[in-house]
């Protein structure tokens, strides 16, 4: 009887040790992942210099990096130390979540991947193909916008004039012919630009834009096609039109030249340029 009791106690002790080991395994697995992700992001951005990771993706997988965008930390002398603390904080956060959620943390990781995919704008390859398919409609929109020179914003739900007056859907027909308004809506839908167009009144440059995740300021990315009448030497316009370079990018915006006048252009609502 005594031997049997000892055997049961030993089995229970081994079981408890195994459970503790499993708990520690989840914690250290989470810590390892929480360290790997921000380090990989920094290597991608700073060492390999392959471009900036979009803020919403960085926030999803490195949540403590929010402090980099909503504070004066990048201007301080101890930025490196602060970034290291944010990486360590991310590791501890991942470890804690993995310990608490355990198997459910795998589902959370999959959910984050899905959300990241949803909020990202289309790839450049997709936009290049769309441009080739709908170039005629895009050029028609530019011509219409410059013909209707009194407007600086024409969108599916609002029109704004050069003197700052705004007209909603029901009032738009008082300043724009119904057939003209309907044609704008048809073309916006055809080219997939759900933000309409913004026009520089002085230069005639036109940005045909769409957005991800509505207009939620913390996560919105505006992307689309920019038409520059003459690139370079502008005192004020969209950055690609002023600089005239084939490509550029930072945390706030990026672009890629398609031909002599057209660019793929992307604006990110938050984040400072490197």
Residue range 148-158: mean pLDDT, rounded: 93
Joined tokens for residue 265? 């252009």
Cβ-proximal residues to 2 (8 Å cutoff; 6+ apart), any chain: none
Please compute the mean of the pLDDT values over residues 18-44 and round it to a whole number. Answer: 80
Q: What integer pLDDT is reported at residue 70 of this predicted model?
A: 64
Residue 152's SS3 state is strand
Q: Which two tokens stand for residue 219?
A: 């996560």
What are the structure tokens assigned to 258, written together?
């398609």
**Range with the lowest mean pLDDT among 50-54, 91-95, 191-195?**
50-54
User: Is residue 132 predicted with pLDDT exceeding 80?
Assistant: yes
pTM above 0.95, yes or no: no
pLDDT for 23 equals: 62
DSSP designation for 191: H
Q: What is the CA radius of gyration of the chain?
A: 26
What pLDDT band is residue 74 in, cutting at 50, 70 and 90?
Answer: low
pLDDT given at position 125: 87
With 80 as the cut, is the pLDDT of residue 214 above it? no
Average pLDDT for 87-105: 89
Q: Give the pLDDT score at 15.
A: 47
pLDDT exceeds 60 at position 270? no
Q: What is the pLDDT of residues 239-266, one digit of tens each?
A: 899 888 888 876 678 899 999 899 999 8
How many Cα atoms sit within 13 Å of 229 on the Cβ side?
Answer: 14
Q: Which residue has the higher pLDDT, 47 or 85?
A: 85
Percent of the chain clearing pLDDT 70 (strictly above): 78
């Amino acid at each position: 009887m005594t031997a049997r009791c000892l055997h049961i106690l030993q089995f229970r002790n081994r079981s408890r040790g195994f459970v503790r080991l499993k708990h520690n395994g989840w914690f250290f697995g989470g810590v390892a992942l929480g360290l790997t992700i921000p380090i990989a992001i920094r290597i991608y951005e700073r060492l390999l210099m392959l471009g900036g990771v979009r803020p919403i993706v960085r926030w999803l997988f490195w949540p403590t990096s929010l402090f980099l965008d909503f504070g004066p930390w990048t201007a301080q002398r101890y930025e490196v130390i602060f970034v290291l603390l944010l990486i360590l904080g991310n590791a501890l956060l991942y470890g804690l979540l993995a310990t608490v959620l355990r198997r459910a943390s795998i589902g959370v990781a999959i959910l984050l991947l899905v959300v990241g995919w949803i909020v990202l704008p289309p790839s450049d390859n997709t936009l290049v193909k769309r441009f080739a398919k709908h170039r005629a409609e895009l050029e028609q929109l530019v011509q219409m916008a410059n013909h209707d020179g009194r407007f600086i914003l024409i969108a599916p739900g609002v029109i704004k004039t050069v003197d700052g007056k705004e007209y909603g859907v029901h009032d738009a027909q008082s300043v724009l012919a119904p057939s003209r308004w309907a044609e704008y809506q048809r073309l916006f839908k055809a080219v997939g630009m759900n933000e309409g167009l913004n026009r520089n009144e002085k230069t005639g440059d036109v940005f045909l834009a769409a957005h991800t995740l509505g207009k939620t300021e913390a996560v919105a990315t505006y992307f689309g096609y920019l038409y520059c009448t003459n690139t370079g030497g502008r005192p004020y316009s969209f950055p690609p039109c002023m600089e005239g370079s084939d490509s550029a990018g930072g945390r706030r915006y990026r672009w890629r030249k398609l031909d002599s006048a057209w660019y793929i252009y992307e604006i990110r609502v938050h984040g400072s340029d490197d």
